[in-house]
Amino acid sequence: MVHVEVVLDISELSDEQLAAEAAREGSDGPAFVALVERFQDRVWRVCFRLMSNAEDASDAAQEVFVRLFLQRKQFEGRSKYSTWVHGVAIRTCLMMRRGRGRRWRHEREAQRQAAERQHGRRPAAEKEVSLDLSEMLNTLDEEDRAMLILKYAEGHSYEELSEIFGLSVSGCKMRISRARQRLKQRFPEHSFGGAED
- pLDDT reported for residue 39: 95
Specify whether the CB–CB gap between 164 and 87 falls below 8 A.
Answer: yes
Average pLDDT (72-89) is 91
Query: What distance in Å separates the CA atoms of residue 26 and residue 35, rounded to the nearest whole number?
Result: 15
Q: What DSSP string describes 154-193?
A: S---HHHHHHHHT--HHHHHHHHHHHHHHHHHH-TTS---
Instruction: Check pLDDT > 80 for residue 152.
Output: yes
- Do domains 10-121 and 123-188 share one topology? The answer is no
* pTM beyond 0.75, yes or no: no
- Give the residue extent of every domain in the chain: 10-121, 123-188
Instruction: Check pLDDT > 60 for residue 121.
Output: no
Query: What distance in Å separates the CA atoms of residue 179 and residue 137, rounded to the nearest whole number?
Result: 9
85-122 residues labelled b (16+ CB within 10 A) or e (exposed): bbbbbbebbbebbeeeeeeeeeeeeeeeeeeeeeeeee
Query: What distance in Å separates the CA atoms of residue 194 and residue 83, rounded to the nearest whole number?
Result: 26
- pLDDT reported for residue 126: 41
Contacts 24+ apart (CB under 8 A), 182-188: 182/139, 182/140, 182/144, 183/136, 183/137, 183/139, 183/140, 186/136, 186/139, 187/128, 187/131, 187/136
Looking at domain 123-188, which CATH architecture does it have? Orthogonal Bundle (1.10)
pLDDT per residue over 19-59, tens digit each? 999 998 877 789 999 999 999 999 999 999 888 889 999 99
Query: What distance in Å separates the CA atoms of residue 21 and residue 31, rounded to the nearest whole number?
Result: 6
Query: What distance in Å separates the CA atoms of residue 52 and residue 42, rounded to the nearest whole number?
Result: 15
- pLDDT reported for residue 107: 65
- pLDDT reported for residue 120: 57
CATH, domain 10-121, list 3.90.550.10, 3.40.50.880, 1.20.1440.230, 1.10.1740.10: 1.10.1740.10
